[in-house]
Structure 1
């Protein structure tokens, strides 16, 4: 636990090999300030190489999941002064890239990540959940690609990932152009989330339950599945099949396959080594 100490994230381990990461700025609606942007990336970089973690659950402390970017941060970005125009643009670009890398660290993490969403999930919060592998929410959850109402296009992942998740270009454009709220019922109907539960507690409990199941599987298998699904999303079927053959050409040498087959034959649960 000592290596997972953060100001804006609360960490616990609810079951073996499962880490629960909680956005922990409830007094500020779990909005993203400079520290949270930085710590989110730091945390997921650690999780990626932590052999004691096989699955991740991410949620928000308090009444809601996330209110998006801290408006003080947004004001700093658009209000930056000093230097000539080129240097100002360069500094803004570097800041935006650091925010993008923070969100992308979730997707780049080798461990499956489950988002447990309750109440508001706004702006950067939507970007965060689209970088996750699985999304559950409570009945009171609502979502908004809010950036348009602040005079900008979403720039940390929503416009890139949401269309690939939902698969409905017209709907994505409507949501992003209008910034309107959409409910948990609508989110499950068009595929942003795949399960809706009664309240926050039940949503988190079910997310941990699923993470625990995932953590019981071969970590070589789950890592490979995530990597290959992400690769296939961004490449043609032919390219992805060729890449999968190369990947599994190495990964099929895992002892986990022998253990899994042996356990299946003996009708017992297999036990796999850490990565």
Structure 2
């Protein structure tokens, strides 16, 4: 039987701990440029649900295996063969209304799987390199921080396969970037854009100087190591309040912060952080 802090078995994701309390999740389908089939995305929420509550995890690095891609998005061949989307597989009793219900449930399940990254209690930094297309944008806008290699190429590709992006990009990207003209430019045209452009509009917060994945992983490790040195109570609370306040008024955000901190301020972490500062030492925080 799996232990209390044992991760779920995954075929398409690697999970390692390169530093104490720092989890590295790697999309592991490099031979297909980390493209997602249904089997891949079904593993994702189980893994992030585990990491969300794991006392051994305080920050998460999310990257793609191999040198060529974070992910190229949906595995189009697998997607095109799906029974719900393939009219030739429909029964003689085909009913558009009932098929629409099946499609809606399928899309909702897919959306919820990717949203598990956003809902994860621990901060997630997306490490982007090579190709980051379609679903790669959906995934990255769920992360708390995005950094990328100099050679990263992005595109919101869904219109090229006859779809409006439906897994989160059209809802989250406008909040992440805040430039409506640029967002419609890239979403309506499916054109590629590079790391420099992504940084200029605020989609990513850091771009490597040399190109390639290794440099960006090292930057992610530096950031994650800094985050896990902080109080896990404070870090979790900060992420929770920022996410909760995303679509709400300042007044609502202040009220929620007051309620949240009425409990969080009772933590021993405040005293430990204060003492460590006075004694000029690193604070030691208990597992959450």
Question: TM-score, with normalisation over the residues of structure 1?
Answer: 0.97
Distance in 2, matches of 1:17 and 1:206, equals 16
Q: State the partner residue of 2:25.
A: 21
Whether 1:98 aligns to 2:109 is yes
Secondary structure of the 2:71 match is coil
Distance in 2, matches of 1:115 and 1:214, equals 15
Distance in 2, matches of 1:255 and 1:204, equals 33
Secondary structure of the 2:269 match is helix
What's the offset of the Cα at 1:118? 0.4
Q: State the partner residue of 2:245.
A: 232
Whether 1:209 aligns to 2:222 is yes
The answer (yes or no) to whether the contact 1:4–1:11 under 8 Å persists in 2 is no
Equivalent pairs, count: 275
Question: TM-score, with normalisation over the residues of structure 2?
Answer: 0.93
Q: State the partner residue of 1:65.
A: 70
How do 1:8-157 and structure 2 match up within 5 A?
A: 8-62=12-66, 63-75=68-80, 76=82, 77-79=84-86, 81-82=90-91, 83-157=94-168
After TM superposition, the runs of 4+ consecutive aligned structure 1 residues lying more than 3 A away are: none
Distance in 2, matches of 1:149 and 1:206, equals 33
CA deviations over 1:104-125 (Å, ceiling 9, x no partner): 0000000000011101000001
Secondary structure of the 1:31 match is coil
Secondary structure of the 1:269 match is coil
Gapped regions of structure 1 (runs ≥ 5): none
Whether 1:258 aligns to 2:271 is yes
Secondary structure of the 1:268 match is coil
Distance in 2, matches of 1:90 and 1:42, equals 25
Q: State the partner residue of 2:170.
A: 159
Distance in 1, matches of 2:104 and 2:77, equals 18
Distance in 1, matches of 2:143 and 2:159, equals 23
Distance in 2, matches of 1:267 and 1:184, equals 39
Gapped regions of structure 2 (runs ≥ 5): none
What's the offset of the Cα at 1:151? 0.9
The answer (yes or no) to whether the contact 2:60–2:125 under 8 Å persists in 1 is yes
The answer (yes or no) to whether the contact 1:138–1:184 under 8 Å persists in 2 is yes
Distance in 2, matches of 1:265 and 1:3, equals 38
Distance in 2, matches of 1:88 and 1:252, equals 51
